[in-house]
């Protein structure tokens, strides 16, 4: 679909006078989020260190990595680490996935005293092993089950419940509007819509018109998701769909600065300069130190390899750098490597 409908940036980087000083807010239940720009939940990406960096840059709401309700039920040791929340993250959304209403609602109640502000239910994950279990985006094919999961969870806890969905399961099952209405009827406080079907995964272009259709069909806040990689994308999405908030996933990987830019644009009408090599390098090292602090050097540095690839995407020599980063095993090695390669 064409995406030309919003005013273009002025040459001086400022927005038109009619938009100056405009402060957008997102309200979910009784929670007011100062900036309507949301870090999407991404497995292996939106862990505690990265969420802290995005919060510092101005993200309005942080979404944690999705957590299996069944794993919580069985007290899986690896799952406990996913529940770590820092006081500086406020507000933060904890996302559960599963397919059994009783398990999801009971586990939501069991963890409600953790310091998260929103409980989100994943109905959009396209990963085969999740879908095979009837979880994630497979729930798009089960409207009655969707209602039961959401209504039971809403009744089980006091905190607001939200749901993340997709356009549909495939081209024969494009039912985001129907599912969103069901979610609203079941008592959810907001719905996030990714503009692709499960079969698309992340290929092709996100269909923002389905976000518009959902927004026109429900009264609860609608958060748009898909193909937002810069300030202009976020503004176009809000203009074209009327959505109340914008969720940013892949566009934030290696790019926590996107939230700084969005916050600055809303507050001043100006977009700050993109980070230079030195700032990118220092952000990576800060990220790595947080990884080591919360996960230990062995795990933290190995996980950092993917983040370095994202941070350096598009830089000169980045392809070779991505190959060489896999040899780095300690923070000291990473620091020396980045100071040598990024100058």
Condensed to tens digits (0 to 9), the pLDDT of residues 194-212 reads: 999 999 988 889 999 999 9
* Nearest of 225, 228, 205 to residue 6 by alpha carbon: 228
| pLDDT interval class at 317 (50, 70, 90) | confident
For 137-186, what is each residue's pLDDT tens digit?
A: 999 999 999 999 999 999 999 999 999 999 999 999 999 999 999 999 99
pTM of this prediction?
0.91
* Residue 1 confidence (pLDDT) above 80: no
Arithmetic mean of pLDDT over the chain: 92
Which of these, 242, 231, 240, 237, lies nearest to 266 by C-alpha position?
231
Q: Which residues in 194-215 are b (16+ Cβ under 10 Å) and which e?
A: bbbbbbbeeeeebbbebbbbbb
Instruction: Express as a percent the part of the chain with pLDDT over 90.
Output: 86
Token readout for 1 is: 């679909």
The CA angle 297-299-300, to the nearest 5 degrees, is: 60
> Residue 229 and residue 168: Cα distance in Å, rounded?
23
Q: What is the mean pLDDT of residues 312-324?
A: 89
Q: Does residue 22 or residue 175 have the better pLDDT?
A: 175
**What does the DSSP assignment read for 178-191?**
HHHHHHHHTT-SEE
Which residues are identified as catalytic? 125
Taking the C-alpha atoms of residue 305 and residue 288, their distance in angstroms, rounded to an integer, is: 9
- 3-state percent helix, strand, coil for the chain, nearest multiple of 5: 45, 15, 40
pLDDT band for 21, please (50, 70, 90 cuts): very low
Strand partners, 270: 14
**pLDDT of 28:** 98
**Can you give the pLDDT at residue 9?**
41
Q: Name the nearest CA neighbour of 224 among 208, 205, 200.
A: 208
CA dihedral of residues 36, 311, 306, 262 (deg, nearest 10): 0
| Separation of alpha carbons 232 and 28, rounded Å | 24
5 or 283, higher pLDDT: 283
- Closest by CA to 147, choosing from 104, 194, 109, is 104
Alpha carbon distance 44, 214 (integer Å): 29
pLDDT band at 22 (very low <50, low <70, confident <90, very high): low
CA distance 265 to 212: 23
Could you count the other beta carbons within 10 Å of the beta carbon of residue 92? 23
Kind and range of the H or E run holding 106: helix 101-110
What is the pLDDT, as a whole number, of residue 203?
Answer: 86
Q: How confident is the model at residue 15 (pLDDT cuts 50, 70, 90)?
A: very low
The encoded tokens of residue 304 equal 């950092």
Task: Report residue 46 as tokens.
Answer: 């939106």
The answer on pLDDT for 288 being more than 60 is yes
Work out the angle between the directed axes of helices 297-311 and 318-325 (0-180°, nearest 10).
170
pLDDT in tens, 233-268: 999 999 999 999 999 999 999 999 999 999 999 999
Asked if the model's pLDDT at residue 17 lies above 80, the reply is no
pLDDT digits (tens, 9 = 90+) for 88-132: 999 999 999 999 999 999 999 999 999 999 999 999 999 999 999
- Enumerate domains of the chain plus CATH numbers: 28-268 (3.20.20.70), 277-341 (1.10.1200.80)
Query: What are the structure tokens assigned to 97, written together?
Result: 């996935």
pLDDT of amino acid 274: 95
pLDDT band at 78 (very low <50, low <70, confident <90, very high): confident
| Tokens matching residue 155 | 């009744």
Q: How far is CA 159 from the centre of its chain?
A: 19
Contact 14, 265 (CB under 8 A): no
Looking up tokens 């957590």 gives 67
Name the phi and psi angles at 159, rounded to 5: -75, 155
Residues of the chain with pLDDT > 70, as a percent, come to: 93
């Amino acid at each position: 679909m064409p995406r030309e409908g919003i005013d273009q940036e002025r040459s001086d980087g400022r927005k038109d006078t009619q938009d100056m000083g405009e402060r957008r807010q997102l309200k979910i239940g009784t929670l007011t989020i100062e900036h309507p720009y949301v870090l999407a939940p991404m497995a292996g990406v939106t862990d505690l260190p990265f969420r802290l960096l995005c919060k510092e840059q101005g993200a309005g709401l942080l979404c944690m990595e999705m957590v299996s309700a069944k794993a919580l039920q069985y007290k899986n040791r690896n799952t406990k680490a996913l529940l770590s929340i820092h006081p500086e993250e406020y507000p933060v959304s904890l996302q559960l996935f599963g397919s059994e209403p009783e398990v999801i609602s009971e586990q939501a109640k069991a963890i409600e005293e953790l310091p998260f502000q929103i409980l989100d239910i994943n109905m959009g994950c396209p990963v085969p092993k999740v879908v095979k279990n009837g979880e994630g985006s497979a729930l798009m094919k089960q409207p009655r089950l969707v209602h039961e999961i959401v209504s039971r969870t809403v009744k089980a806890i006091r905190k607001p419940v939200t749901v993340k969905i997709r356009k549909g399961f495939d081209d024969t099952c494009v039912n985001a509007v129907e599912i969103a209405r069901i979610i609203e009827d079941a008592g959810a406080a907001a719905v996030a819509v990714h503009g692709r079907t499960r079969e698309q995964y992340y290929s092709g272009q996100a269909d923002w018109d389905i976000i518009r259709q959902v927004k026109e069909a429900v009264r609860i806040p609608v958060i748009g998701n898909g193909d937002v990689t810069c300030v202009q994308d976020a503004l176009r999405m809000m203009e074209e769909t009327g959505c109340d908030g914008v969720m940013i996933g892949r566009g934030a990987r290696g790019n926590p600065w996107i939230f700084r830019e969005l916050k600055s644009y809303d507050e001043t009408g100006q977009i700050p300069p993109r980070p230079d090599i030195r700032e990118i390098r220092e952000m990576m090292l800060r990220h790595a130190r947080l990884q080591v602090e919360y996960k230990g050097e062995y795990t933290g540095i190995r996980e950092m390899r993917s983040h370095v690839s994202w941070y350096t995407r598009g830089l000169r020599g980045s392809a070779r750098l991505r190959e060489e980063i896999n040899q780095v095993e300690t923070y000291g090695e990473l620091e020396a490597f980045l100071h040598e390669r990024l100058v």
